[in-house]
Amino acid sequence: MFHRGYTLQTTKNLTIAALVAALSLAAQAPAPPAGGRGGGRGAVAPPARPAAYPERPPVAQAVLDRGRAIYGVNCNFCHGSDARGGEGGPNLLRSELVLNDKRGELIGKVILNGQGEMPAIKLTPDQIGDVADYIHSFKVGGYDVSRMVPLSIVVGDPKVGEQTFAKMCGSCHSVTGDLKGIASKITDPKALQNGWLMPGNAGGRGGRGGPSPFNVPPTTVTVTVAGKATTGRLVRIDDFIVTLADENGAQKTFRRDGEVPKVEINDPMKAHKELLSKYTDADIHNITSYLVTIQ
């Protein structure tokens, strides 16, 4: 209800006029002094936001090319082509160890000795330095600036890949047998490449590319004590104990003292792991380019 002759329209007009006047005064107000917020005497402006991570010094292209080739053969299948992980290995761009590394002095210890499920990889100090420089060449910042995903990893020669596949993989695998229609089962070329290199990781995190069609059996172990052998799925093994699980999931642990008891491990991935150091970067791209044609 309005009094003293005010109408709804009059009130709206006065409100608009007051808003315009306030904006006009704000525009004419002097700017706050440099170094202050204008809200009080001696106020200090907030410091400029620092970069997320310091930029690395530039590296010669030849070094990056060598590092890319070594990374492609030994690291890509777990840590991804953009070093952000997702195929079984962790994100290297956000790793504190990698961020503190200069040129392989920290990364090299993990490469040479292995860590967790990562096997030891025998590289020379120069090769480790090249890999470190390549990893450090990725910008570490927001999601988009961090990604350096190639337009396509299908850049090899499928005919050469067919020959290489027959030579290096044909004794165990066949594109008319266990790998029949592989490209239609794993439609993402990156997941396919990581999959044939290390079949247990074919689907990637979150199942990208679909479930693994390779059906890799688990690693088993046989422990022999006083002539009695016990076999089961390997759960854990170190210098002091070995733990296995039987077909019902029940676990049994044996203490170890050197070579006693006798322990025999059957790792279905052994051949794949041994081949990783033999593939060249060209071999990987050529075989992948061949496998994407197997629909």
Residues 6 or more apart from 168 whose CB is under 8 A from it?
A: 275, 278, 279, 283, 287
Most confident option among 45-49, 123-127, 193-197, 202-206: 123-127
Residues 6 or more apart from 3 whose CB is under 8 A from it?
A: none
- For 251-275, the pLDDT digits (tens) are 999 999 999 999 999 988 888 888 8
Give 81's pLDDT tier (boundaries 50, 70, 90). confident
Give 140's pLDDT tier (boundaries 50, 70, 90). low
- For 6-43, the pLDDT digits (tens) are 444 444 444 444 444 444 444 444 444 444 444 444 44
Structure tokens at 35: 């170094």
pLDDT at 86 over 70: no
Query: What is the C-alpha to C-alpha distance for residues 193 and 94, in angstroms, rounded to an integer?
Result: 24
* Amino acid making up residue 169: C
Structure tokens at 27: 């525009």
